[in-house]
Amino acid sequence: MARKSAEASAAPKPTATKPRGQRGVAAAKPASPLRDGTPPTDAAINLDNLQDLIGYAIRRAQLAVFQSFKEVMGELAVTTAQFSVLRIVHDNPGLNQTALANALGVETPRMVLILDDLEKRDLVARVASTMDRRSRAIYLTDEGNRMLVLLEERAEAHNRDLIRRLRGDDREVLARMLRNLATPIER
């Protein structure tokens, strides 16, 4: 009996394997320590080489705007993409999902997911098109119209808050500069 226990303890122990998605991936290296040997905290991370990059600044601003939007919408639980869809469908009733996806610069499969969610919440309805039976026309439901009124009130308050953050004439300058960035220069 003692021999069996000794053999069991001498047997090689199985090694832990990485989960399927992590196989072949090197372990993440910890952040470089500061001069005193302690790892950097969020406040101590040097971002100097990113601060002047326009793309970085836009991304940080986008994250701040989306977080603020989420807080303003609160219990209504509507994303910026869903709000945009509701607004465009309101202004363009009967639009199909491909045209809607193109207008928002979203891939059609993603648009399907957004519309599925809005349809489950009874905010939009997809109806067979009278022009092309393969296509579905999108309309706001009565509940969608009521929701859009609430959303627009909150979105306007959110927009006013963002404008206050810009201070002064910066709103018009920023809007013009962002439009310029979105429009390539003819070469």
Per residue in 18-73, pLDDT (tens digit) is 444 444 444 444 455 556 666 666 677 888 888 888 888 889 889 999 999 999 99
Look at the pTM and tell me if it is higher than 0.85: no
What are the strands, taking DSSP E only, across the chain? 95-96, 124-128, 136-140
Contact criterion met (CB below 8 Å) for 109 and 128: no
How far is residue 47 from each of residues 12, 39, 43, 54, 82, measured CA to CA in Å?
Answer: 48, 15, 10, 14, 33
Q: What are the chain's domains?
A: 55-181 (1.10.10.10)
